Structure 1
């Protein structure tokens, strides 16, 4: 029975993460960005969102979602180790998508569910 509980908890985390990524993507689209890629995976890891800004720059966004802010801001979860991994992943993405280029920026989107269950999105542009 414990294994089943873990799967349920993992499923809940996955659903929460998907909700946060969708909310962040909608925030970016409302602010004039185009979503170029979602959940781009390679052996080294995953990029949550890759976006194209109106000025042609590429934005790599790490999305962190929490069901509440009781354990701190989700933005605090992007550690220096995670930042290095995201830079590596961005280089791999750019190499795999020759011809797409321009300036590069790394954003962090923190999503917290409000008491009514609605996602509240906070984006830190050029977060690292």
Structure 2
């Protein structure tokens, strides 16, 4: 949101609107309870089958995982690989290079979350 302030220290509504719109877009794509957990699991484990992924992302139902994977694939974060030559057909999911661009975002969120949890425990507020 630094872009909201011009060189004289004044807020500009256009810059704030653009920043807010960008944040809203990002949250729309990666927000929710499960998407970042799925992305992190795929980045940590590499190629992984659906049932394995469901075990790793504890608490997610098969239907929700399926829908989240479709959304993540649509947005370029996940690639679905079908091995039709095998019987039964094997389907694996992998994170894309594009999903790896979220690494700094995930690390920043992790650090912020740790700090926030510590502040809450120490009753800083």
Normalising by the smaller structure, the TM-score range is: under 0.3
Higher relative contact order (CA 8 A, sep 6+): 1
Larger radius of gyration: 2
TM-score, structure 2 normalization: 0.26
More helix by share: 2
